[in-house]
Amino acid sequence: DNKGLFIYLFIIYSSSGIDEVSSTILKHCKNEVMTQITDVINKSFQQGIFPSQLKHSLVYPKYKKGSTSLASNYRPISLICTLSKIFEKIVLSRLLTHLENNSLLTNHQHGFRKGKSTITAIIDLVETIIDASEEGATTTGILLDFSKAFDSLSHKHLLDKLKALGIKGAAHQWFQSYLSGRTQMTEITQVVNNRSQKFRSTQAQITRGVPQGSVLGPVLFILYTNDIVSTLQDHCEIFLYADDTALIVSHKNVKELEIKAYIAACIAKQYSQENDLVLNEDKSQQLFFCPQRRSALELPNVSTYNEAKYLGITLDSDLNWKPHVDQLCKKLSTALYVIKRLKQISNTETSRTAYFALFESQMRYGLTVWGFSSLRNLHRVLLLQKKAIRIMAELGFRDSCRGV
């Protein structure tokens, strides 16, 4: 109804897509268009048809770093129509309700789930490693890397998996319509004769993957890989956050561990092939929580490390968190410099805002796991925090921070 659409309209903040209709425009003329948009959405769901005018995406390259002449130094940003996002918000709400009420999503998936997050995934993974260690088992972790995972999945496989999850009839037809007939074009901006000009490519058909920049895309991907757990659960523990996949294999017998790890890796590779996903073995990583026995456990084609990053947390073989704290202190030092410069050119409130956004947010992330690090590691972080507080409060180097 109009009331429900009004709510979805006001929680969307996005740039305009190829139709150049932004969320701001829709909000300003909501009273004039609300009824018509509601009718279109209701008919779309009843007939199982997604409007073809909303299937076009605009892609522009965003510069990352390095040479500006290399295409690999740009990241594609995809913009879809604002009306499409309203459609998708409504569908997503209904889809998640169906999945949660019927317990259709694996508990191993932490992405885009109520009550779950990257932190819950990391906590579960670390607890599994610690529990195995306390039982005297040796553990290895395999961090899988799927190349362009969101872009490569098969529409046919996805639709089959949606049907297996009870999404049938008009709802299934709607998803089929949503995925088919999609196009995208690339837009670049260049300065010609001191004037900024935009150039657009011709439209290209999209025949695979979930729509980039969409609301539904990430959830459709986790539904696509929802069955990977049943495929692997007899051979390892599996932890998922969207396409970030970690396999944990433990055994008291090193030889048995080697066999189990090899089987798990082979099954993961077979699963990716059967589901049209590209498992990049060169970028996949194996981490050992028994470095002294490392040579006996290495998997073919997978690089081995004493430390590796998973969901923004650096895991190390001894779980002493020093590598993570090393990386964290570098980030906090950069944030500290920004806070100091802002304090010099603005006011205390601005520097406080920067502190919470750039410093404290990074310091708190994953604290539940790395907070059990050594006192030396914790002291390094605390010293940087004290420096930030002294800068904001205009205190001297030796002044106490307590009560500030």
Residue 197 has a pLDDT of: 83
User: Which domain-ending residue is among 319, 339, 370?
Assistant: 319
Kindly give, in sequence order, each residue whose CB lies less than 8 Å from that of residue 301, ignoring residues fewer than 6 positions away: 281, 282
User: Following CA atoms 44, 46, 47, 53 in sequence, which dihedral angle do they give, to the nearest 10 degrees?
Assistant: 0
Q: Let me know if residue 29 belongs to a domain.
A: yes
Residue 290 has a pLDDT of 66
Structural domain includes residue 177: yes
Compute CA distances 144 → 94, 280, 298, 325, whole Å: 31, 8, 15, 24
Which of these three, 276, 296, 319, is where a domain ends? 319
Q: Using one digit for the tens of pLDDT, what is the confidence trace for 285-336?
A: 999 886 555 555 666 667 788 899 999 999 999 999 999 999 999 999 999 9
Structure tokens of 380? Answer: 């390094």
Q: Which percentage of the chain shows pLDDT scores above 90?
A: 56
pLDDT-derived band at 13, boundaries 50, 70, 90: low
| Nearest residue to 219 via CA among 144, 143, 162, 168 | 162
User: Is the separation of the CB atoms in 221 and 210 below 8 Å?
Assistant: yes
Tell me the residue ranges of DSSP E strands in 92-202.
138-144, 146-147, 182-192, 195-200
Q: What's the mean pLDDT when you consider all of the chain?
A: 88
- What is the tally of structural domains in the chain? 3
Task: Find the largest Cα–Cα distance for the chain.
Answer: 71
- Per-residue tokens: 298: 């290495």
Indicate whether 231 belongs to any domain.
Answer: yes
Sign of CA dihedral 67, 68, 69, 71: positive
User: Do 86 and 123 fall into the same domain?
Assistant: no
- Whether 246 and 295 map to the same domain: the answer is yes
Q: Of 312, 308, 353, whose CA–CA distance to 335 is shortest? A: 353
**SS3 for 250?**
strand
Identity of residue 208:
R
**Region 48-62 average pLDDT:** 92
- Split at pLDDT 50, 70, 90, the class of 9 is low
pLDDT band with cut points at 50, 70 and 90 for residue 2: very low
Query: Residue 297 belongs to what domain range?
Result: 110-149+227-319
C-alpha distances out from residue 323 to 211, 309, 351, 359, 374, Å:
36, 10, 28, 18, 12
Q: How far is CA 389 from CA 115, 333, 377, 394, 401, in A?
A: 32, 13, 19, 8, 7
- What is the structure's pLDDT at 5? 53
User: Are 363 and 237 part of one and the same domain?
Assistant: no
Instruction: Indicate if the pLDDT at residue 353 is higher than 60.
Output: yes
Same domain? For 6 and 55 the reply is yes
Question: Which tokens in the block code for residue 142?
Answer: 């395999």
d(CA 44, CA 39): 8
Kindly tell me the burial class for residue 223, based on how many C-beta atoms sit within 10 Å of its own C-beta (0-12, 13-18, 19 or more). Answer: buried
pLDDT tens profile 83-130: 888 889 889 989 999 998 999 999 999 998 888 999 999 999 999 999
DSSP letter, residue 117? -
Read off the pLDDT band of 71 (50, 70, 90). confident
Tokens of 303: 């690089």
pTM of the shown model: 0.85
Residue with more model confidence, 35 or 321: 321
- Do 333 and 303 share a structural domain? no
Q: Residue 214 falls within a domain, yes or no?
A: no
Residue 83 lies in a domain: yes
- 63 burial type by CB count under 10 A (0-12 exposed, 13-18 middle, 19+ buried): exposed
- 212/3: higher pLDDT: 212
- Distances in whole angstroms, Cα of residue 219 to Cα of each of 10, 93, 170: 22, 11, 19
Taking only the tens place, the pLDDT of each residue in 273-282 is 999 999 988 8
Is there a single domain that holds both residue 161 and residue 282? no
Q: Which of 319, 338, 368 is the last residue of a domain?
A: 319
Least confident of 27-31, 161-165, 382-386: 27-31
Q: What are phi and psi of 181, to 5 degrees?
A: 65, 25
Give percent of the chain with pLDDT exceeding 70.
93
Across 162-181, average pLDDT: 96
Same domain, 183 and 35: yes
- Average pLDDT, integer, range 19-41: 80
- Identify the band that residue 4 occupies on the pLDDT scale cut at 50, 70 and 90: low
Q: Average the pLDDT over 353-365 and give the result.
A: 96
End-to-end Cα distance, the chain = 50
Contact criterion met (CB below 8 Å) for 246 and 232: no
Bridge partner residues of 249 (DSSP): 140
Residues 6+ apart with CB under 8 A from 90: 4, 5, 8, 41
- Domain of 276, CATH number, reads 3.30.70
Whether 305 is covered by a domain: the verdict is yes
Q: Is residue 333 part of a domain?
A: yes
Predicted confidence (pLDDT) at residue 167 exceeds the cutoff of 90: yes
Q: Which helix (H) or strand (E) holds 248?
A: strand 244-251
Decide: 215 and 90 in contact? Cβ < 8 Å. no
